[in-house]
């Protein structure tokens, strides 16, 4: 049956630039052509160049005439180097099949030693010395460098690094008096305000694990997280506490109990290794969206957060001269960068209110008013800013993550910002695991970039073997940023957190 008739009978639709039924054909020539007798004529086999490929890729293996393997491909889809690698991989598999005929095909090696070495160089981020400090020690270090410089701005109020350090010390003393130490979990259910940052740092200084709770989330979800996390205490405001109506959980109301902080010492807590958090203790417990069922709590240790902050300070980069606009809810882990990186580097964090964070014109006003140099947001929020008519701020470094960065958005941001960075990483490996600066003239495709410091990112097949260049596989991330696992979910943790291949 003619191919065109078969396509029509099956009702197959052709994709633009593709084939309607299949895109790859393997043709095995393993039988001799039958003799044809013509009176007074002789025939001979001829090979000829088709001039154009019938399909995206055709592999012809001749086991009868010359033992050749021919690759015929569409040159607008495949580069010669790509097809050459395919041929080398096929030959390597065939040789391995001859040498080890008892092995499954999926277990046969196809990569050369040079390819494996090249992939290793791509999969490893910079190797740097880990500090061993806790997250709160990183924040305190930043405060000591520039004590009088502004650390936090919200509305008309602001705190210097020294004032923030002392305020968080006072609250940390109050928390210790309430029995808050390492291996205890404290909920932070506060609106976007200065109290949120002070409370976050105080919980870390007390050695405890903070659990972010967005007061705008549905009450049922918040109650589930409160119950599942087995919190020792919740820090909130009276209006939020009344709305939650969770009387069984001890609470500290910052707008009511402020006298407790006023009478507490502004000095740091005395070091006590039995109470203070160590590198492998959880800095925060954050819940995923729960798209496949109930939300799962991910425990992220201090070791992972300090490595993340140190790497981010280097690339994309942040210094004491930078001013970052924080627009993300604390319940989204990218808020870790927004709230803690400026404090750890001696910079300034400007917090947008709930209303401002969802208003493109308000965001544009904050960027100009405060001379913002760094802003991190999802593509959706960047579009919100662009749709408001924002013309840009050439001193701004734009970090884009949480959703796919399109070439169109990248181009629009490049025209309005000094730098544009694509950020990638799952919650389980501490916010961002890779970053890539979008440069003028980059290809239309957007790269995930290189792994951050002390991090590895591999693309592996079902047998956990490295995939060749251009071959689809699953992303596996290892290194200092890997979380402790899912809170009290040993079965799920053992399934998802495996030994590094």
CATH code, domain carrying 410: 3.40.50.12780
> Within this chain, do residues 172 and 84 fall inside the same structural domain, yes or no?
no
User: What phi, psi does 466 have (nearest 5°)?
Assistant: -60, 135
> Within this chain, do residues 71 and 179 fall inside the same structural domain, yes or no?
no
> Within this chain, do residues 302 and 352 fall inside the same structural domain, yes or no?
yes
Q: Which domain holds residue 160?
A: 135-496
User: Are 167 and 157 contacting, i.e. CB atoms less than 8 angstroms apart?
Assistant: no
Q: Is residue 501 part of a domain?
A: no
How large is the greatest C-alpha to C-alpha distance in the chain, in angstroms? 115
In sequence order, what E strands does 4-66 have? 24-29, 57-62
Per-residue confidence band for 53, with pLDDT thresholds at 50, 70 and 90: confident
> Within this chain, do residues 282 and 180 fall inside the same structural domain, yes or no?
yes
Selection from 55-59, 64-68, 85-89, 379-383 with the highest mean pLDDT: 379-383
> Within this chain, do residues 77 and 140 fall inside the same structural domain, yes or no?
no
Pairing status of strand 57-62 against strand 24-29: parallel
Q: Is residue 466 part of a domain?
A: yes
Task: Please state which of the ranges 244-248, 303-307, 435-439 shows the lowest mean pLDDT.
Answer: 244-248
Q: Is residue 129 part of a domain?
A: no
Average model confidence (pLDDT) for the chain? Answer: 92
| Last residue in a domain, options 87, 119, 151 | 119
Counts for the chain of helices (H) and strands (E), in that order: 16, 21
Whether pTM exceeds 0.85 = yes
Which residues contact residue 208 at a Cβ distance below 8 angstroms, ignoring those fewer than 6 apart?
A: 175, 180, 181, 182, 183, 184, 185, 186, 232, 277
> Within this chain, do residues 81 and 161 fall inside the same structural domain, yes or no?
no
- Between the alpha carbon of residue 6 and those of residues 19, 20, 40, 59, 452, the distances in Å are 13, 10, 39, 22, 51
Above 80 in pLDDT, residue 41? Answer: no
Q: What pLDDT score does 290 carry?
A: 61
Q: Is residue 35 part of a domain?
A: yes
What are 62-72's pLDDT values in tens digits? 888 778 899 98
Strand partners, 478: 456
Q: What pLDDT score does 5 carry?
A: 75
Q: What pLDDT score does 400 carry?
A: 98
> Within this chain, do residues 52 and 167 fall inside the same structural domain, yes or no?
no
- Between the alpha carbon of residue 272 and those of residues 64, 143, 210, 277, the distances in Å are 79, 21, 19, 9
What are 185-200's pLDDT values in tens digits? 999 999 999 999 999 9
Per-residue confidence band for 59, with pLDDT thresholds at 50, 70 and 90: very high
Q: Is residue 11 part of a domain?
A: no
Q: Is residue 158 part of a domain?
A: yes
> Within this chain, do residues 453 and 486 fall inside the same structural domain, yes or no?
yes
| Last residue in a domain, options 119, 150, 165 | 119
> Within this chain, do residues 292 and 413 fall inside the same structural domain, yes or no?
yes
> Within this chain, do residues 208 and 105 fall inside the same structural domain, yes or no?
no
> Within this chain, do residues 193 and 62 fall inside the same structural domain, yes or no?
no
The number of domains in the chain is 2
Task: Please state which of the ranges 27-41, 88-102, 120-134, 303-317 shows the lowest mean pLDDT.
Answer: 27-41
Q: What pLDDT score does 359 carry?
A: 97
| Last residue in a domain, options 94, 119, 144 | 119
> Within this chain, do residues 105 and 177 fall inside the same structural domain, yes or no?
no
């Amino acid at each position: 049956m003619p191919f065109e008739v078969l396509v029509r009978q099956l009702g197959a639709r052709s994709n633009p630039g593709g084939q309607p039924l299949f895109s790859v054909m393997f043709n095995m020539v393993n039988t001799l052509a039958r003799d044809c007798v013509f009176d007074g004529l002789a025939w001979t086999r001829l090979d000829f160049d088709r001039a154009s490929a019938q399909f995206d890729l055709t592999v012809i293996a001749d086991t009868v005439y010359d033992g050749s393997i021919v690759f015929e491909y569409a040159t607008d889809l495949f580069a010669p180097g790509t097809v050459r690698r395919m041929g080398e991989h096929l030959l390597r598999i065939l040789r391995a099949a001859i040498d080890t005929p008892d092995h499954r095909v999926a277990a046969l090696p196809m990569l050369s030693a040079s390819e494996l070495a090249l992939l290793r160089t791509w999969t490893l981020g910079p190797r740097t010395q880990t500090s061993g400090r806790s997250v709160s020690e990183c924040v305190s270090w930043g405060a000591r460098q520039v004590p009088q410089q502004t650390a936090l701005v919200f509305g008309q109020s602001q705190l210097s690094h020294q004032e923030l350090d002392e305020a968080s010390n006072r609250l940390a003393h109050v928390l210790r008096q309430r029995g808050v130490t390492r291996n205890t979990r404290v909920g932070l259910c506060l609106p976007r305000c200065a109290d949120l940052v002070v409370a976050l740092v105080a919980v870390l200084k007390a050695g405890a694990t903070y659990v972010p709770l967005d007061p705008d989330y549905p009450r049922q979800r918040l109650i589930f997280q409160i119950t599942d996390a087995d919190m020792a205490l919740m820090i909130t405001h009276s209006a939020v506490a009344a709305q939650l109506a969770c009387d069984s959980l001890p609470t500290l109301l910052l707008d009511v109990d402020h006298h407790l902080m006023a009478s507490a010492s502004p000095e740091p807590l005395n070091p006590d290794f039995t109470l203070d958090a160590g590198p492998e203790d959880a800095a925060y417990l954050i819940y995923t969206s729960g798209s496949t069922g109930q939300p799962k709590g991910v425990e992220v240790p201090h070791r992972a957060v300090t490595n993340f902050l140190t790497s981010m300070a280097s690339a994309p980069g942040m210094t004491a001269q930078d001013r970052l606009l924080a627009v993300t809810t604390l319940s989204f882990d990218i808020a870790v960068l927004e709230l803690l990186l400026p404090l750890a580097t001696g910079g300034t964090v400007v917090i947008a209110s709930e209303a401002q964070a969802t208003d493109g014109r308000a965001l544009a006003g904050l960027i100009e008013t405060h001379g913002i140099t760094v802003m991190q947001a999802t593509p959706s929020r960047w579009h919100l800013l662009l749709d408001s008519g924002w013309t840009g701020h050439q001193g701004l470094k734009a970090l884009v993550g949480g959703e796919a960065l399109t070439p169109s958005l990248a181009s629009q941001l490049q025209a309005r910002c000094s730098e544009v960075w694509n950020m990638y990483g799952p919650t389980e490996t501490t916010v961002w695991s890779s970053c890539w600066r979008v440069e003028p003239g980059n290809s239309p495709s957007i790269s995930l970039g290189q792994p951050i410091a002390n991090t590895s990112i591999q693309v592996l097949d079902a047998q956990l073997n490295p995939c060749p260049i251009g071959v689809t596989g699953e992303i596996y991330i290892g290194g200092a940023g890997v979380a402790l696992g899912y809170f009290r979910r040993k079965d799920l943790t053992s399934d998802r957190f495996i030994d590094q291949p």
